[in-house]
């Protein structure tokens, strides 16, 4: 039994501590110690959260668009004023540096702003006289209770990819945050209450796979938005679908940058640093492989190494460039991949295992690492490492680079660096990846477009936010209507035609 403070659940507008039957410790990765705990939701909390969301649904669905919108605007204002509080919680549990944490809250806020326009997005269509005297029209309606399950690496932004749209569209929500970083979601729950959201519309269940399983099976949950690793995403998609739910499940990634010989190598080197080591590489849009079309690889490596020398890794609260990894286990796993790369014949140019850190000696540290020539058969090339490890792969041509990227298992993000517009245009056409950057290393779409990868990076056919998000959280109802005039057509057993 620990005496650590409990991060509670949020059910029907109230904090609920739950019972410490099964406890998960939450660590501060820069200190390397447990600072809080989560009592994994048991049957009582799960039932209370589902029932509260179910009970709140009809009234919330039927509230006027104008009143719903006023609450959305208020939430946006509070979030904007106080986002540094949320950022501090993220740094405390995830480890990413404060600026980066603030950046993720701001990107989530963009989705709240998009969702304030929901009345416009929900407008249906109307066709007068589809047949004589017959009108056809459609409306979009909320689904009911929806479940959101999020990963550790974006404690605020990823839940915000979904819940602003789900709520603004009239659904009620149960969020299951990652047990490693539970506080940001709870913070947002309190903000919703302050913004005037009725109790029961936004609920938070802390837990792990047992909580997720309950969400997958319960018939009150109509849809699931999941973000996490590929094996779990695939399971969620299959299991949720089996239980009759609408599911979108975003998975892992291994993102490449293709660098053509005419690219501005200073821009590329800066971009590789930002996209490879930002958030210690724990981003699903991190670049982990730089594919250099020869003869530029040696020059590029020199520029990257020079920049790596200036990076400061340490406690995210001390103005460092890069923080620790999220847990000790994850740090060890990532360090293990450096060992694999070395054994398989890769050349370790900068070794993150042998660096100094500006932080507590118990923190989960691993510095930025650069590896050249990892064989394409090595697990260190093929697997998602999810840490500050950048591989350089050399190819002879654009075509060889595109083939290598398209042969990969994942298809989340990719970037091309070139000054040749024709090559960039060909690339956007030929590359089998869902989000493409052209001289932009982390092409995360703005909120009014949609986020999602291809292949093993996403299961289900709708992406997060933008109009696809609205489509996911609503269903279309189509009416065919005739208000009788004197020209009654008589009996006709044939199939209706125009």
Residues lying near ligand NAD in the complex (CB under 6 A) are found at 149-154, 158, 176, 178-179, 208-209, 212, 227-229, 232, 250-253, 284, 384, 386, 412, 453, 457
From the candidates 41, 156, 249, 284, give the one annotated as an active-site residue. 284
> Residue 368 or residue 387: which is nearer to ligand NAD going by CB?
387
C-alpha 283/C-alpha 287 separation (Å) is 9
C-alpha 168/C-alpha 318 separation (Å) is 38
Are 284 and 384 in contact, with CB atoms under 8 Å apart? Answer: no
- Spatial CA neighbour of 220 closest among 52, 100, 42: 52
> Residue 228 or residue 388: which is nearer to ligand NAD going by CB?
228
> Residue 170 or residue 466: which is nearer to ligand NAD going by CB?
466
Q: How far is the CB of 161 from ligand NAD (least distance, A)?
A: 8
> Residue 166 or residue 284: which is nearer to ligand NAD going by CB?
284
Q: Which residues of 131-151 are buried (b: 16+ CB within 10 A; e: fewer)?
A: eeeeebeeebebbbbbbbbbb
Q: Which residue is nearest to ligand NAD (CB)?
A: 228
Q: Helices (H), strands (E): how many in the chain?
A: 15, 22
> Residue 72 or residue 215: which is nearer to ligand NAD going by CB?
215
Q: Please, what is the angle between helix 43-62 and helix 209-217, to 10°?
A: 50
Q: How far is the CB of 207 from ligand NAD (least distance, A)?
A: 7
Q: How far is the CB of 410 from ligand NAD (least distance, A)?
A: 9
In three-state secondary structure terms, 96 is: coil
C-alpha 345/C-alpha 373 separation (Å) is 8
C-alpha 379/C-alpha 313 separation (Å) is 26
Computed on alpha carbons and rounded to an integer, the radius of gyration of the chain in Å comes to 25
Q: Give the Å distances, CA to CA, from 415 to 73, 82, 100, 289, 420.
A: 35, 34, 21, 10, 14
Q: How far is the CB of 208 from ligand NAD (least distance, A)?
A: 5
Q: How far is the CB of 426 from ligand NAD (least distance, A)?
A: 26
DSSP labels for 258-324? EE-TTS-HHHHHHHHHHHHHGGGG-STT-EEEEEEETT-HHHHHHHHHHHHTT--BB-GGGT-SB--
Residue that has been written with the tokens 């001390």 in this structure: 318
> Residue 58 or residue 231: which is nearer to ligand NAD going by CB?
231
Cis peptide before 295 (omega within 30 of 0): yes
Confirm whether 284 is a catalytic residue. Answer: yes
Q: How far is the CB of 457 from ligand NAD (least distance, A)?
A: 5
Q: Give the Å distances, CA to CA, from 133 to 9, 125, 260, 478, 484.
A: 54, 17, 61, 17, 8
Q: How far is the CB of 3 from ligand NAD (least distance, A)?
A: 24
> Residue 216 or residue 268: which is nearer to ligand NAD going by CB?
216
Query: Sheet of 369-372: strands edge to edge?
Result: 347-350, 369-372, 389-395, 287-293, 255-259, 413-417, 435-438
CB neighbour list of residue 249: distance below 8 Å, 6 or more residues apart: 224, 226, 227, 228, 233, 234, 236, 237, 240, 458, 459, 460
Q: How far is the CB of 231 from ligand NAD (least distance, A)?
A: 7
> Residue 100 or residue 384: which is nearer to ligand NAD going by CB?
384
Residues annotated as part of the active site: 284
């Amino acid at each position: 039994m620990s005496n650590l403070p409990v991060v509670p659940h949020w059910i029907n507008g109230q904090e609920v501590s739950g019972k410490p039957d099964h406890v998960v410790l939450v660590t501060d990765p820069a200190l390397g110690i447990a600072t809080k705990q989560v009592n994994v939701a048991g049957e009582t909390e799960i039932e209370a959260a589902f029932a509260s969301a179910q009970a709140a649904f009809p009234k919330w669905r039927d509230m006027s668009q104008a009143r719903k919108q006023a609450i959305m605007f208020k939430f946006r204002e509070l979030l904007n004023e106080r986002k540094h509080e949320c950022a501090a919680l993220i740094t405390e549990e995830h480890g990413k540096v404060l600026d980066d944490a603030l950046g993720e809250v701001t990107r989530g806020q963009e989705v709240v702003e998009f969702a304030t326009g929901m009345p416009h997005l929900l407008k249906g269509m109307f066709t007068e006289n589809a047949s004589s005297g017959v009108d056809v029209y459609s409306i979009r309606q909320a689904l009911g209770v929806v479940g959101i399950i999020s990963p550790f690496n974006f404690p605020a932004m990823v839940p915000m990819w979904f819940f602003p749209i789900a709520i603004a569209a009239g659904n009620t929500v149960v969020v299951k945050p990652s047990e490693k970083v539970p506080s940001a979601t709870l913070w947002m729950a309190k903000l919703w209450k302050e913004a005037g959201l009725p109790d029961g519309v936004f609920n938070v269940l802390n837990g792990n796979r047992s909580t997720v399983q309950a969400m997958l099976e319960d018939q009150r949950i109509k849809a699931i938005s999941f973000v996490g690793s590929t094996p779990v995403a695939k399971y969620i998609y299959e299991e949720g679908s089996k239980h009759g739910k609408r599911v979108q499940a975003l998975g892992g990634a291994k993102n490449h940058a293709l660098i053509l010989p005419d690219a501005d190598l200073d821009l590329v080197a800066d971009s590789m640093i930002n996209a490879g080591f930002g958030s210690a590489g724990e981003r699903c849009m991190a670049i982990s492989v730089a594919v250099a079309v020869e003869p530029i690889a040696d020059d590029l490596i020199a520029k990257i190494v020079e920049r790596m020398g200036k990076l400061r890794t340490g406690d995210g609260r001390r103005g460092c460039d890069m923080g620790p990894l999220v847990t000790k286990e994850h740090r060890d796993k990532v360090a293990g991949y450096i060992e694999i790369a070395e054994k398989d014949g890769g050349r370790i140019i900068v070794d993150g295992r042998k660096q100094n850190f500006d932080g507590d000696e118990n923190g989960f540290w691993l510095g930025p690492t650069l590896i050249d020539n990892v064989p394409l058969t090595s697990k260190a090339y093929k697997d998602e490492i999810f840490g500050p490890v950048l591989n350089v792969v050399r190819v002879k041509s654009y075509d060889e680079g595109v083939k290598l990227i398209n042969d990969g298992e994942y298809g989340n993000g990719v970037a091309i660096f070139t000054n040749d517009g024709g090559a960039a245009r060909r690339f956007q056409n030929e590359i089998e990846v869902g989000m493409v950057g052209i001289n932009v290393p982390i092409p995360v779409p703005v909120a009014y477009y949609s986020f999602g990868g291809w292949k093993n990076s996403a299961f289900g056919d709708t992406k997060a936010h933008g109009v696809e998000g609205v489509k996911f959280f609503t269903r279309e109802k189509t009416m065919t209507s005739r208000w009788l005039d004197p020209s009654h057509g008589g009996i006709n057993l044939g199939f209706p035609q125009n």
